[in-house]
Each structure stands twice: as structure tokens, then as C-alpha cells.
Amino acid sequence: MDAISSLMLQGGWRKGPWTALEDGLLSEYVRQHGEGSWNSVANLTGLRRSGKSCRLRWVNYLRPDLKRGKITPDEETVILQLHAMLGNRWSAIARCLPGRTDNEIKNYWRTHFKKARPSRRARAQLLHQYQLEQQQQRQYLQSLQFLQQQQLQNQTQQVMMSQQYEQQSPPEPDHQAVMAMVNNLQSAECYCSPVSVPEQYCALPADDDEQLWDSLWRLVDGDGCSAGDGSSGGEY
């Protein structure tokens, strides 16, 4: 009978908060043997902890490259953006934030953005992001209209000039050619349009904060921008 089996018979694995002594034993084990083979930790160190528990303690707390302290605004932005793309794939998000763990990011998300209402700062940031998107959308449409007008003018001039050249007669615009060009521009707009504003946004009265947030949460909670990852784990 090996040590693990006998431990299980004597009352199983220890649970609950880790002591400094246990942390020391685990750190020493990793220093000597490296990460991995977590199930052999109990055998080699005498720790009464399961392999899973040891791995978790190391990954989430003891690893020397962990960044301590609060999530910075920059990190928060990254979390928001990645969550919008990846959904609840915390480990994937954590890989983009050196020194942060999936557990940390998961906790942060649940605390600040999931359900209920987020912190003031989180709300302000999301609101700012939304307003920025709207502003960009307006600017884009304005410049597109300007371009369309200019192109229309140019084309009309060209058509008139070529006809004038060919016929040496008073200019008469080619309406068919102009209309074809306008149609082209209109269909091109559909393809070039930037991030379209979701219906939920468009329907919002600009000054109604509550409705705005309700809509944002519908977006986040529902299948709006979470890249279709509403379900629980295992979807790779």
C-alpha cells in the first residue's frame, strides 16, 4: 500500500486554507521537480493535499511570476475586449494578461460585470466605449457622404467632358452612367460599414441611463456580443 492510499484510508485529503508550512513544502517540491506530476506531491513531500489542490495552489497563488495587486484600467480594458470575443474562456483571457490567473480574471468579471450592476468605473468605461463607437459611426457616415458627393461630382464632370469632346455639342450628362455609379457607391457602403450599431443601441433614448444599462446587460448576458459562448465549459 502506497502513501497516498494509506492517507485516504486515514481520513482523506486535507481541505481548506493553506498554511505557510504547506506553501513552503509545495514551493520546495516545485523548485526541485518542476511543475507537473501533481499527484506525486503528497508522496514526495508528505503534504496531505490532493494533486489538484496542489496544482491550484501553485498556479493561483505561489507561482513567482504572479502579479499582485489590483487589476489596472488597461487590464480591465483587455478583459472586456477579450471577453466580448472569447466569452467565458478565462484561461485564454488570462494568457493575454501576464501575471494574472484565470481564477483572478473570473472573479473580477463576476464581481464587476456579471449580473447586477457593475462598479461605477466599469459602467463609466462601458458607457464611454459605447459613446465612442457611436461617434466613430457618425464620423464615418459623414465622411462617406462627403466622398460620395465628391465622386459623383467628378464622375458627372468626366461624363460631360467626354461627351463634349466626342460630340462637340452642348454638354448633356449621361444619366445612366451616373445612376450606375451611385448604385455602386450605395452597395459599396454596405460592405464598408464599420461596426454596426445593434438595434438595442439605436432604440435607446440617449439620456435614459437605466434603459441604456438594461440594454447593455442584455447584450452581455444574451447572445449579443459574447461570441455565442453562453454555455458552460468544454466548447473548444
Query: The C-alpha cell of 153 is what?
Result: 461630382
Task: Tell me the closest approach of the beta carbon of residue 137 to DNA, in angstroms.
Answer: 31
| CA pair distance 166, 169, nearest whole angstrom | 8
Nearest to 66 by CA among 37, 22, 105, 21: 105
**Of residues 36 and 98, the one with the C-beta less far from DNA:** 36
Q: Would you call 65 helix, strand, or coil by DSSP?
A: coil
Among 7, 18, 26, 29, binds DNA (CB under 7 A): 18
Task: Tell me the closest approach of the beta carbon of residue 66 to DNA, in angstroms.
Answer: 9
Query: The C-alpha cell of 174 is what?
Result: 449621361
| CA pair distance 171, 236, nearest whole angstrom | 64
Q: Rule CB under 7 A: is residue 55 a binding residue for DNA?
A: yes
Task: Tell me the closest approach of the beta carbon of residue 103 to DNA, in angstroms.
Answer: 5
Residue at 216: amino acid letter: L
Per-residue contact track with DNA, 215 to 234, x per CB under 7 A?
-----------------xxx
Q: Rule CB under 7 A: is residue 38 a binding residue for DNA?
A: yes
What does the DSSP 8-state code read for residue 175?
H
Burial class (CB in 10 A: 0-12, 13-18, 19+), 90: buried
Q: Which of left, alpha, beta for 43 (phi over 0: left; psi -120 to 50: alpha)?
A: alpha
Q: Rule CB under 7 A: is residue 6 a binding residue for DNA?
A: no
Residue with cell 467626354: 162
Segment 161 to 200, residues that bind DNA, using CB under 7 A: none
Among 37, 125, 148, 151, binds DNA (CB under 7 A): 37
Q: Rule CB under 7 A: is residue 56 a binding residue for DNA?
A: yes
**Of residues 47 and 219, the one with the C-beta less far from DNA:** 47
| CA pair distance 122, 109, nearest whole angstrom | 10
Q: Please count the CA atoms within 13 angstroms of the CA of 40 that sit on its side-chain side.
A: 9
Q: Rule CB under 7 A: is residue 72 a binding residue for DNA?
A: no
Segment 103 to 142, residues that bind DNA, using CB under 7 A: 103-104, 106-108, 110-112, 116, 119
Stretch that binds DNA, among 83-91, 163-171, 201-209, 212-220 (CB under 7 A): 83-91
**Of residues 115 and 168, the one with the C-beta less far from DNA:** 115
Contact residues: DNA, CB under 7 A: 14-18, 36-39, 49, 51-53, 55-57, 59-61, 70, 88-92, 102-104, 106-108, 110-112, 116, 119, 232-234, 236
